[in-house]
Amino acid sequence: MGDNRLMIKVTVNDRLYELQVDPELRLVDLLRDELGLTGTKEGCGKGECGACTIIMNGKTVNSCMVLAFQADGSEILTIEGMGDGEELHPIQEAFIRQGAVQCGYCTPGMVLSAKAILDKNPNPSEEEIRKGISGNLCRCTGYQKIVDAIKDAAEVMGGGGDER
């Protein structure tokens, strides 16, 4: 299969990679299997659960719905790029504080969707938050503590936060 490989340049968590990729490789496989960034989870492979959510060029995408070679030239943020070394990102801290984590399999994708929500609007309403995470299925929490965590993070990050 090596014959058909394509050369791509992609920046992941501020690090530039130049890679040869098989055309049938999906972005989620590139991140997990080739770059070892297993924080990105796969839950369905069909864009139906959001577990593999990453931020690509500023927007959340399901990394199972992108071929790796399509990511050529893009900037990608995965869960491993949240926070600063050992320091957690305020969203991650809020998820812990609010008890928004149960089995944790949806959590990385959920955190990235949360970031996209707050990047767009630092002070989102509950409705905006719920819409913003509506592509991330969670089977454990019933979403309430996740919503609370995003509100909490908004407050900590200076957005002010919506009244409950």
Residues numbered 85-104 forming contacts with another protein, rule: CB under 8 A? 88, 92, 95-99, 101-104
**Smallest separation, CB 19 to another protein (Å):** 13
- Contact call for residue 78 and another protein (CB under 8 A): yes
- Contact call for residue 69 and another protein (CB under 8 A): yes
C-alpha atoms less than 13 angstroms from C-alpha of 127 in its C-beta half-sphere: 0
List, in order, residues 6 or more apart from 87 with CB less than 8 Å away.
none
Kindly state the number of chain residues that form the binding site for another protein, as judged by CB under 8 A.
82
- Contact call for residue 1 and another protein (CB under 8 A): yes
Task: Give the number of other Cβ atoms within 10 Å of residue 24's Cβ.
Answer: 11
What part of residues 105-124 is at the interface with another protein (CB under 8 A)? Answer: 105-108, 111, 113, 116
- Contact call for residue 19 and another protein (CB under 8 A): no
User: Strand ranges (DSSP E) for 6-99?
Assistant: 6-12, 15-21, 53-56, 59-62, 75-77
- Contact call for residue 157 and another protein (CB under 8 A): no
- Contact call for residue 152 and another protein (CB under 8 A): no
User: Strand ranges (DSSP E) for the chain?
Assistant: 6-12, 15-21, 53-56, 59-62, 75-77
Q: What angle do the packed helices 107-120 and 90-97 form, to 10 degrees? A: 120
Among 133, 152, 153, 154, interactor with another protein by CB under 8 A: 133
- Contact call for residue 151 and another protein (CB under 8 A): no
